[in-house]
Amino acid sequence: MTTTAIPETRQQTTTVPEKRKPSGRRIAGTTVLYIVLGILALIIILPLIWMLITSFKTDADAVRNPYGWPNPFSTEAYTTLLTSGEQPIFLWLWNSFAAATIQTILILVTASMGAYALARMEFAGKKIVFGVIISTLLVPPVVFLIPNYLIVQNLGWLDTLLAITVPGAAGAFGIFFLRQFFVALPVEIEEAARMDGAGEFRIFLQVVLPLARPALATLAVLSFLNNWNDFLWPVYVLLSPENMTLQPGLAMLQGAYRTHFAIVMAGAVIASVPVLILFGIAQKQIVESVAGAAVKG
């Protein structure tokens, strides 16, 4: 008579490692780091707070009491700027918005195509081309001021929207930024699309660009801000007040012998509002782009 031995079942217990309490040195280091970051953030935000406070002062109070609270609190600067009709602030806003939007779209188109070619396509001299593009980042932008001005003048673009949109439509930074993002994307997705019969342009348009949405959003915000805040180039190529963008227009608010500080600060506040709205809309994409770059790095 045979007996079958029943194997014993042992209950396996898993031990959960205890959380290590942070050491005193680590807590102290984190505290010091937060204090330093808080001080730096305060230093950065103080000029913005001063700008906002000054915009709600009267012209006399802004001169007499430059660092104190408004006394009295007044919206005279905004009323003068928006309703006087002496300075076309709304026209300047529209010119800046149109120029920044058009140039941002052009940069996204040219930079994405150039970056994809350098990241995925093989051709003779690719490394040399990429090196030349990167080397232009070492040249100060002011060096290109006179050559670009002569080109714009010969094309008859002075005092037009083309003068402040086309010259900056293809930049080395955008190509470099997107190229690094494209290189980090998995090639297997593109190979699967090729096996399904997709062409190179279709892969670029329907596969690569959707994956690069966070990087494209980040580049769009940076390009928009760069054009929106540009002062030197519009001063050279825009001649009439009605064609001015916002930054040179704000400089025109300063007189030869007297500066209306409250009005200038009110204009600066108005100029900051679209930028804050844009950042609020694209904040999620920017954070995803930075987080993705950190993980891949």
Q: What is the pLDDT of residues 33-56, one digit of tens each?
A: 999 999 999 999 999 999 999 999
Average pLDDT, the chain: 86
How many other CB atoms are found less than 10 A from the CB of residue 54?
Answer: 23
What angle, rounded to 10 degrees, do the helices at 76-83 and 261-296 form? Answer: 90
Statement: residue 194 has pLDDT above 60: yes
Look up the domain containing 158 and give its range.
Answer: 87-252
Same domain for 150 and 54, yes or no, is no
How many other CB atoms are found less than 10 A from the CB of residue 156?
Answer: 10
Residues in the chain, total: 297
The total number of structural domains that make up the chain: 2
Q: What is the pLDDT of residues 229-244, one digit of tens each?
A: 999 999 999 989 889 9
Distance CA 292, CA 130 (A): 23
What angle, rounded to 10 degrees, do the helices at 213-228 and 261-296 form? Answer: 160
Query: Measuring CA to CA, how many Å separate 227 from each of 13, 93, 158, 219, 284?
Result: 62, 12, 17, 12, 22
Same domain for 119 and 210, yes or no, is yes
Predicted confidence band at 2 (pLDDT cuts at 50, 70, 90)? low
Same domain for 120 and 233, yes or no, is yes
Q: What is the largest CA-CA distance in the chain?
A: 118
Of 237, 252, 267, the residue that ends a domain is: 252
What is the structure's pLDDT at 63? 87
Same domain for 104 and 226, yes or no, is yes
3-class secondary-structure state, position 259: strand
Alpha-helical runs (H) found in the chain:
24-55, 59-64, 76-83, 89-120, 126-135, 145-155, 172-184, 187-195, 200-203, 209-211, 213-228, 232-237, 246-251, 261-296
Half-sphere exposure of 37 (CA within 13 A, CB side): 6
Mean pLDDT confidence for 9-23 = 57
Predicted confidence band at 32 (pLDDT cuts at 50, 70, 90)? very high
Predicted confidence band at 7 (pLDDT cuts at 50, 70, 90)? low
Radius of gyration of the chain (CA): 28
Q: With respect to residue 274, please indicate whether it lies within any of the assigned structural domains.
A: no
What is the structure's pLDDT at 1? 47
Mean pLDDT confidence for 203-219 = 91
Q: Nearest 5°: phi and psi at 81?
A: -70, -40
Q: With respect to residue 268, please indicate whether it lies within any of the assigned structural domains.
A: no
Q: What is the pLDDT of residues 100-152, one digit of tens each?
A: 999 999 999 999 999 999 999 888 989 999 999 999 999 998 899 999 999 99
Contact between residue 260 and residue 214 where contact means Cβ atoms under 8 Å apart: no
What angle, rounded to 10 degrees, do the helices at 89-120 and 126-135 form? Answer: 150
> Which CATH number goes with the domain that contains 217?
1.10.3720.10
CA 118, 124, 128 angle in degrees (round to 5)? Answer: 65
If we measure between CA atoms, which residue out of 252, 246, 228 comes closest to residue 91? 246
Q: What is the pLDDT of residues 266-282, one digit of tens each?
A: 999 999 988 888 888 87
Strand partners, 254: 259
What is the structure's pLDDT at 15? 56
Statement: residue 256 has pLDDT above 80: no
Same domain for 122 and 69, yes or no, is no
What is the structure's pLDDT at 294? 47
Same domain for 159 and 188, yes or no, is yes
Mean pLDDT confidence for 150-171 = 94
Distance CA 283, CA 86 (A): 36
Identity at 114, one-letter amino acid code: G
Q: With respect to residue 271, please indicate whether it lies within any of the assigned structural domains.
A: no
What is the structure's pLDDT at 112? 95
Same domain for 138 and 237, yes or no, is yes
